[in-house]
Each structure stands twice: as C-alpha cells, then as structure tokens.
C-alpha cells in the first residue's frame, strides 16, 4: 500500500480512458482517498458516474483550471472535507485544433497563449491554490503529465512547446515548494489513446511507430502510468523532486526503430 491514508486531488478526468482516471484508480488501489475535479458541466455527469462506480461518497468538484476563483473554492471545500492534501495531480492540456494542426509557424498568438495557459500555467495556478493544504501534509506531492519535450513530433507543434514550458514550470515550482517539504514531479507518458490524443492528427501513426521503436516492443497502458503516479505521489518517492520520469516503454531513448537499422 503506497498511499495508505493519503488524500489526493485528481484534476483532468474527462472519461474512463483519461490518464487521470487511471491515476485515481491506482491511488484507490494503493489505499489512498481521491477527490476528482471536472472541467465544466458538460463533463460533470460522466465524471460523477465514474466516481460513483468506485465510491458513492467520492468528492467531485467543478474546476476550470483557468479560473483562480474556482481553484480557491475547491481548496476551501477540500479544507472542510479533509483539512490536508497529500497529493495533487494535474492531468490537463488543451490547444485549439486550428492552432495545433497546421504547424508551429502558423500558430496564432491567441492559440499559443491558450495552449501555454491551459497546459502549463494551470500547474502553477492549482499548486498555488493547494499549497496551504499540501504544506500540512508530511508527504505533499504534486504531479503533472508531459510528453517527451526533447524531440520534435510533427503534428504535436504548439503542444510540444507548451509541454516544454510545463516541465520548466514544474522545476521552478519544485524550488518554490521544496522548503515546505512539498515535492513536484512530472511523468512523461508514452502515447495512449485518450480523448486529448484523438485531437492530434496522425496519433495512430505515433502509436504504431512508438511500439516499433520501443525496447519493450509495445506502448504503455494508462494503468502503468497510474502505478508510477502512485509511487511518485507517496512517501516511497520522498527523495525525488523536480524530475521528469519517463513511463514510455523506453521509446524516448531510441532514435529510429530497430527495423530501420536491420537489413
Ligand atoms: O498519449 C497521451 N494521451 C499522453 C497524454 C501522452 C503524454 C502526456 N499526456 C498528457 C496530456 O497532454 C495531458 O496533460 O496527459 C494529460 C492527460 O491527458 P489524457 O488523459 O490523454 O486526455 P483526456 O482524457 O482528454 O484529459 C485531458 C483533459 C481534458 O479533456 P478534453 O479532451 O475534454 O479536453 O484535460 C481537461 C479536460 O477534461 N482540461 C481541463 N480541465 C480543467 N480546466 C481544462 C481546463 N481549462 N482544459 C482541458
């Protein structure tokens, strides 16, 4: 039990395929308690139904991560519900399709601002709002989700830039939060078929190429990401902060697929 008695807020569940949902399931499996947030009323019923399927009393709050007012409200509600927060999961990203697809040189300033605001700045927004509760924990831990920022993936475009900003923001937040004994890390997940992934054109090819490139010969599952998340959220990882941990079946270490170098 990696998270016995630990209280974790998970932001970014859209449906059953969401990485955030796999993280929530792993937290529960490891003995922790979970509260979920949903972005808006469009997603509310789906997220509440998921919550109900594991625990009828699981707290669910509305939270558009771009709203500091809503973030403060959720912090207030958690203060009443739990009084402390041991883990915060930021599993949120968005870029307008018309700015994501055509290529980075065609990204509008508005599209750039939206992508970096929602996909990177909101990590800081949520961490700031939850800090008073995280500081009360003996093992406060914040976790975000990124994707292999050291490389260029055609079609990932402005989202790749946003993820690079997210990773830098994660490291600076790690510095700010560290003296309060709150850790901040990121998981760089391999490609997984989710709602957000479907917005990236050619995602099917990323999955195919990824599994061909991978030393393990396959892609990762959301469950594998959830398991690593449970480790990073809990006291077993108490010495790890400011890191990007790759959960990608080794894909990121490879240049070209093995097939390309064999006759
Ligand atoms: O291959 C993948 N799926 C990978 C995803 C590989 C590596 C990293 N990631 C990252 C994503 O970039 C994201 O940061 O993992 C995180 C979770 O993404 P996901 O699980 O792949 O996708 P999804 O289930 O769609 O969850 C992302 C959710 C949004 O869903 P939709 O698709 O409806 O936009 O982020 C949420 C929203 O629910 N979201 C917001 N939540 C609160 N406030 C906001 C917002 N403003 N915008 C988006």
Tell me the pLDDT tens digit for each residue of 152-204. 999 999 999 999 999 999 999 999 999 999 999 999 999 999 999 988 989 99
For residue 227, give its domain range.
Answer: 7-252
Structural domain contains residue 161: yes
Q: Are 166 and 119 in contact (CB under 8 A)?
A: yes
Residues marked as catalytic: 147, 156
pLDDT at 258: 67
User: Best substitution site from 10, 14, 97, 198 to test ligand 1's pocket, by max atoms within 8 Å of Cβ?
Assistant: 14
Residues with CB under 6 A from ligand 1: 12, 14, 18-20, 39, 43, 63-66, 91-94, 118, 145-147, 189, 191-192, 194-197
**Structural domain includes residue 187:** yes
Judge whether 259 lies within some domain.
no
Exposure of 207 by Cβ count < 10 A (0-12 exposed, 13-18 middle, 19+ buried)? Answer: middle
The two structure tokens encoding residue 169: 């923001």
pLDDT digits (tens, 9 = 90+) for 66-81: 999 999 999 999 999 9
Q: What is the pLDDT of residue 262?
A: 66
The pLDDT assigned to 199 comes to 87
Strands 33-38 and 183-189: unpaired
Residue ranges in the chain whose pLDDT is less than 50: none
Query: What confidence score (pLDDT) does residue 108 get?
Result: 98
The per-residue pLDDT for 256 is 78
Specify the number of domains making up the chain: 1
If you compute the radius of gyration of the chain from its CA atoms, what whole number of angstroms results? 18
Query: Is residue 1 in some structural domain?
Result: no
Residue 178 lies in a domain: yes
Does residue 155 fall inside a structural domain? yes
Averaged confidence pLDDT in the chain: 96
- For ligand 1, atom 22, the nearest C-alpha belongs to 196
Name, in order, each residue with C-beta under 8 angstroms of 251's C-beta and a sequence gap of 6 or more. Answer: 148, 190, 210, 213, 214, 219
Enclosing H/E stretch for 13: none
Q: Is residue 258 included in any domain, yes or no?
A: no
- What's the CA gap between 125 and 144, in Å, rounded? 13
Looking up residue 201, the CATH number of its domain turns out to be 3.40.50.720
Helix (H) or strand (E) holding 181: none
Helices (H), the chain: 19-29, 41-54, 68-81, 97-100, 109-116, 122-134, 157-178, 195-198, 203-213, 222-233
In a domain, 260, yes or no: no
């Amino acid at each position: 039990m990696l998270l016995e008695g630990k209280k974790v807020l998970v932001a970014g569940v859209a449906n059953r395929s969401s990485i955030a949902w796999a993280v929530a399931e792993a937290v529960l499996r490891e003995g922790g308690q979970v509260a979920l947030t949903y972005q808006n009323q469009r997603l509310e019923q789906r997220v509440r139904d998921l919550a109900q399927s594991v625990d009828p009393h699981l707290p669910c709050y509305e939270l558009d991560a771009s709203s500091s007012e809503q973030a403060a409200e959720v912090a207030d509600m958690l203060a009443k519900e739990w009084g402390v927060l041991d883990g915060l999961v930021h599993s949120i990203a968005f870029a307008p399709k018309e700015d994501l697809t055509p290529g980075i040189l065609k990204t509008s300033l508005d599209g750039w601002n939206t992508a970096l605001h929602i996909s990177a700045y909101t990590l800081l927004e949520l961490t700031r709002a939850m800090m008073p509760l995280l500081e009360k924990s003996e093992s406060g831990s914040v976790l975000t989700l990124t994707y292999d920022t050291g490389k260029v993936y055609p079609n990932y475009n402005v989202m790749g830039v946003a993820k690079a900003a997210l990773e830098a923001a994660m490291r600076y937040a790690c510095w700010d939060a560290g003296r309060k004994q709150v850790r901040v890390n990121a998981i760089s997940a391999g490609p997984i078929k989710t709602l957000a992934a479907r917005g990236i054109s050619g995602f099917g090819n990323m999955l195919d190429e990824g599994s061909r490139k991978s030393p393990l010969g396959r892609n990762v599952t959301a469950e594998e990401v959830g398991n690593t998340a449970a480790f990073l959220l809990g006291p077993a990882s108490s010495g790890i902060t400011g890191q990007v941990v790759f959960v990608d079946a080794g894909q990121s270490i490879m240049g070209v697929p093995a097939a390309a170098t064999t006759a």
